[in-house]
Amino acid sequence: MAGATLAGPLGACCFQTVQHVGDPRGTVEKIAGVDTYVARPSGGGADKVVLFHADIFGPLYVNSKLIMDFWADNGFLVLGVDYFEGDSYDFHMDEKGFDIGTWIKKHQERTAVLLPPWYKAVKEQYGSAKFFTVGYCYGAPYVMDLVKGDWITAGAFAHPAFLSEDHFKDLKHPILLSCAEVDQTFPVASRRKAEDLLAEQKATYFVQVFGGVQHGFATRGDPKVPAERWAKEESARSIVNWFTHFSE
């Protein structure tokens, strides 16, 4: 039986976005039959690989692509698996009467089917690499599952959903939590309980909290609002620095 809920289901903030401006440079390729955004470092190396678990806007949303490109610019090969199979939420934003509950349930079930063979294919293709993993909102539980295993070097998530106390127990690898001051999905009490659980097991962890921003800031913050822009960019920098630290 799962422990108490710490990060709840999707709330209103999970469906809000400001689309960012930029020219993604990655490519969309098939891995285990699933469309995957691939952002390669300029040197073409594949010794450090980041597995990107997107929020409900998916890895093919421009905001996600630009974050992955940034990490690639810092020397990582980044793989963003489209577990929404071309049916991410941005295609339904203006759809009246859209049943979000049914949509989420369908994709959680499909994600559980798609990820194991995708992970297997990634390990076979990049077996000599060090692997890292990051998740946003919907993607956070998959990160926490991976850092309990044996093949991930370190993980990170920002403004999570769908996490229980059990996700924070028996961790084998470092985890970074990038959090918003205002987050109805992962409120202050839950964040502090998560930190207590990490401290009790003497996990290797880092918690950052950004004031003046809300759930979604790291992928969908408004670049025209200085506090949101800084938090978004600093979160991405912190995660790449975290991964770099454990890649040496």
Q: Which of 35, 55, 69, 183 is catalytic?
A: 183
Rounded CA separation 202/210 (Å): 24
Specify the residue for token string 């912190």.
238
Q: Which of 69, 137, 159, 173 is catalytic?
A: 137
Q: What CA–CA distance (Å, rounded) separates 13 from 160? A: 12
Provide long-range contacts, Cβ within 8 A and 24+ apart, for 233-238.
234/210, 235/158, 235/178, 235/208, 235/210, 236/67, 236/70, 236/71, 238/176, 238/178, 238/206, 238/208
Concerning whether 137 is annotated as a catalytic residue, the answer is yes
Beta bridge partners of 104: none
13 is catalytic: no
179 given a catalytic annotation: no
- Sequence-separated (6 or more) residues with CB below 8 Å from residue 49: 76, 77, 78, 79, 122, 126, 129, 130, 131, 132
Q: 215 near 140, Cβ under 8 Å?
A: no
Please identify every residue annotated as catalytic: 137, 183, 215
